[in-house]
Each structure stands twice: as structure tokens, then as C-alpha cells.
């Protein structure tokens, strides 16, 4: 079975590509490398000892995508490609709508044209907006607070319409909570360009001395220690959920949505303490104002994925921090050495 992986050079897509190859799937990766590096593709080949085709193609290039769909016989698509920075999406909404939504539309058109019926889509817990309560269930009401979140929400709706219009289409929408960690080998990991927006890459850059201190956004949330709580999930657990979703689509029609989280929330200070333990350093930090648009507490109820996919996250917070740190230490400048 050959799987088309869009965004396969990026953080989650690259780990998913490894997991697919190790589970006996054949893989073709398309990625425009706008926010990732070709080196990750080389690393995957080196780590797995397996070869696969890589095409540097933009999903908006429908002719190039058509050629790829003509060349291979895909049994499913895993769609990771997309812009993902919340702040940037507020500054350049049209780019986000164009890239994320039009890219997905082109991809779906090609799937229909070439009779490819299974799709696993990377959504985000951001579609719950300000959740009514925690833990968050898939049936909760949906909303978005920024253009990035709206692209995820709109794509989810587009996919539901597509499945309604075409009963042979099978779609798994996976809502990620906060993916962190890295491949345990230290060969693959998150490689943000410029100053990181997200907590873990920022902390590891502080720990390695590239940033002076962590700014903790808000110490007055209604949480145990006042700092924001999130459901951090190891990227290796996350990508295992994708394999389970693919297996699920073999047997089930229609569209189904799953939370991929651990079900446990940790505060920013708990994360900092865990990094202190793992690195043997004291991460300097300062508590500052809340970041606009942030919510206080967000964690999943992952029971649906457990029940229907037979999947649950297994790795501990310590393993997540250790693997993130291992990646940072082995690759202080990311993939560009």
C-alpha cells in the first residue's frame, strides 16, 4: 500500500513517514519545503534504511499534483501540509486561507479525479476555541479565535461535506493537542525557523543558551500554579495514532473525528520543572502578561480514540522532555548543520 504524505518533511509528517515505513507501507512525500528542510527526508532514509520518492511540490500546483497522482497508485493520503503559526495567521490571513484551504481543495480534487478514497487529516484542538469545559470531547461546539484555527475548522467542514456528497470517501480527522518530543534517536525533531513561538522549542533554546530566558505568558490563570495547562503528547505516540486511523479507514466508511491527546494536562511551570530535571539545568524564566488569544486550560478526553482506534498515548512527560532535549543537543542548529 502506497501512502501519499503531504508535508512529510515537517515535524509531524516526518515522524509519520518513519512510522509508515516501519509498518511496511510504501510512502511518497510531497512538500514545498516552505517551512521544512530536505535534510529531514535524507535523515528518514538513513534511519529506516528505506528509500521512497520525494517531490518538492506545492499543493497549489494542481498540474504537478495531477502528475504525481498519475504516476503512483495511492491507497490513502495523510495530509500534514499547511501553515501553522497562530500569530503569523493574524498578520497574513489571506496567505493562510489560500495556502491551507486552497491546498486542501486541490488535494481533494486530485483524490476524486484519481479515485483515492482514504484521507487522514491533521486538525487541531484549536477548533474547540474556548472550550465549554475540560476534558474536551469531540462532540463539543467548535469555533476559532484566529485565521489559522479558522482554516482548520473550515477544512473540517469541507471534508464533512465531501464525505456527505460521496459515500465512498473515508476520512479521519485527527485533532492534535500539543505535540512535542522528537524521535528517540535524536535524528528528527521540530526545527522552527527564527524565534520559536511554541513552548517546548523555546525552552530547549533557553536551555542551550540561544535565548536568554523563558517568558511564561500569564501567572493568573485558574490553575494549580496560575500558569496555562495543556495536553502535551509525544510525537511518536501521535503518529502511531495515524497508523491506527489508517487501519480504521480500511473498515469504515464516512468521516470520523478523533482527539489525539493523553488526557492529562500539565502547567507551564510543571514543564519547566521537568526540563530542569532532564537537562540538569535551571531554566531561567519570568512570568509576564498573558499572551492574547491564549486559553487557560486545554486537555483532551481521548476515550473515543481508545475505543474506536485501539490507540492511547503511552509516553510520559519525562520521555517527551528528554527526547525534545536530545534532539536540541544533537542538532543545535536544527537540520542546517
Which residues participate in catalysis according to the annotation? 148
Phi and psi at 98, nearest 5°, equal -65, -55
Residue 47 vs 287, nearer CB to ligand UFG: 287
What is d(CA 84, CA 76) in angstroms, rounded to the nearest whole number?
23
Residue 84 vs 244, nearer CB to ligand UFG: 84
CB-based contact 27:20 (threshold 8 Å):
yes
| Cross-strand partners of 53 | 28
Based on the shown chain and the rule CB under 6 A, indicate whether residue 202 belongs to the binding site for ligand UFG. Answer: yes
**Binding residue for ligand UFG, selected from 57, 142, 155, 199, defined by CB under 6 A:** 199
**Binding residue for ligand UFG, selected from 28, 216, 235, 236, defined by CB under 6 A:** 216
If binding means CB under 6 A, how many residues of this protein chain bind ligand UFG? 20
| Cross-strand partners of 76 | 3
CB-based contact 174:304 (threshold 8 Å):
no
Residue 50 vs 291, nearer CB to ligand UFG: 291
Residue 135 vs 149, nearer CB to ligand UFG: 149
Residues 247-306 that bind ligand UFG (CB under 6 A): 268, 291, 294
Based on the shown chain and the rule CB under 6 A, indicate whether residue 211 belongs to the binding site for ligand UFG. Answer: no
What is d(CA 257, CA 145) in angstroms, rounded to the nearest whole number?
20
Residues 33-92 that bind ligand UFG (CB under 6 A): 84, 86
Residue 205 Cβ vs ligand UFG, minimum distance, rounded to whole Å? 10
Residues 132-191 that bind ligand UFG (CB under 6 A): 149, 178
The beta strand positions in 248-324, using DSSP E, are: 254-260, 266-267, 285-288, 297-298
**Binding residue for ligand UFG, selected from 17, 40, 123, 126, defined by CB under 6 A:** 126
Q: Which residues contact 210 (CB under 8 A, 6 or more apart)?
A: 332
What is d(CA 267, CA 197) in angstroms, rounded to the nearest whole number?
17
Based on the shown chain and the rule CB under 6 A, indicate whether residue 124 belongs to the binding site for ligand UFG. Answer: yes
Residue 107 Cβ vs ligand UFG, minimum distance, rounded to whole Å? 20
Dihedral, CA atoms, 179, 185, 188, 190, nearest 10 degrees?
Answer: 40
| Cross-strand partners of 180 | 234
Using the contact rule CB under 6 A, the part of the chain among 4-12, 89-97, 124-132, 309-317 near ligand UFG is 124-132
Residue 6 Cβ vs ligand UFG, minimum distance, rounded to whole Å? 17
- 10 Å CB burial of residue 276 (0-12, 13-18, 19+) is middle
**Binding residue for ligand UFG, selected from 228, 241, 261, 265, defined by CB under 6 A:** 228
Using the contact rule CB under 6 A, the part of the chain among 43-51, 197-205, 249-257, 319-327 near ligand UFG is 197-205
| Cross-strand partners of 259 | 175
Q: Which residues contact 61 (CB under 8 A, 6 or more apart)?
A: none
Contact residues: ligand UFG, CB under 6 A: 84, 86, 124-126, 149, 178, 197-199, 202, 214-217, 228, 230, 268, 291, 294
Amino acid at each position: 500500500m502506497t501512502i501519499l504524505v503531504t508535508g512529510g518533511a515537517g515535524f509531524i509528517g516526518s515522524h509519520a513517514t518513519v512510522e509508515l515505513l516501519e509498518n511496511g507501507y510504501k510512502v511518497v512525500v510531497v512538500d514545498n519545503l516552505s517551512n521544512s528542510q530536505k535534510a529531514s527526508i535524507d535523515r528518514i532514509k538513513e534511519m529506516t534504511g528505506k528509500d521512497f520518492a520525494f517531490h518538492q511540490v506545492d499543493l497549489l500546483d494542481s498540474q504537478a499534483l495531477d502528475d504525481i497522482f498519475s504516476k503512483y497508485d495511492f491507497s490513502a493520503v495523510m495530509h500534514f501540509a499547511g501553515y501553522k503559526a497562530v500569530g503569523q495567521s493574524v498578520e497574513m490571513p489571506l496567505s493562510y486561507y489560500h495556502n491551507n484551504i486552497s491546498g486542501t481543495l486541490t488535494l481533494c480534487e486530485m483524490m476524486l479525479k484519481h479515485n483515492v478514497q482514504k484521507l487522514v487529516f491533521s486538525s487541531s484542538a484549536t477548533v474547540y476555541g474556548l472550550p465549554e469545559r475540560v476534558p474536551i470531547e469531540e462532540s463539543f461546539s467548535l469555533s476559532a479565535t484566529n485565521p489559522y484555527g479558522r482554516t482548520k475548522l473550515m477544512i473540517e467542514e469541507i471534508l464533512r461535506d465531501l464525505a456527505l456528497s460521496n459515500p465512498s470517501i473515508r476520512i479521519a480527522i485527527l485533532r492534535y493537542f500539543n505535540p512535542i518530543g522528537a524521535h528517540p534517536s535524536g535524528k528528527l525533531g521540530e526545527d522552527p525557523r527564527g524565534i520559536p513561538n511554541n513552548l517546548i522549542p523555546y525552552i530547549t533554546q533557553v536551555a542551550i543558551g540561544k535565548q536568554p530566558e523563558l517568558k511564561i505568558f500569564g501567572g493568573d490563570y485558574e490553575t494549580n500554579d496560575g500558569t496555562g495547562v495543556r495536553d502535551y503528547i509525544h510525537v511518536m505516540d501521535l503518529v502511531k495514532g495515524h497508523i491506527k486511523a489508517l487501519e480504521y479507514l480500511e473498515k469504515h466508511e464516512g468521516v470520523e473525528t478523533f482527539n489525539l491527546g493523553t488526557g492529562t494536562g500539565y502547567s507551564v511551570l510543571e514543564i519547566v520543572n521537568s526540563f530542569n530535571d532532564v537537562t540538569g539545568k535551571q531554566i531561567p524564566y519570568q512570568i509576564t502578561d498573558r499572551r492574547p488569544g491564549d486559553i487557560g486550560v486545554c486537555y483532551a478526553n481521548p476515550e473515543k480514540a481508545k475505543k474506536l482506534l485501539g490507540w492511547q498515548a503511552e509516553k510520559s512527560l519525562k520521555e517527551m522532555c528528554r527526547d525534545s532535549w536530545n534532539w536540541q543537543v544533537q542538532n543545535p542548529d536544527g537540520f542546517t548543520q
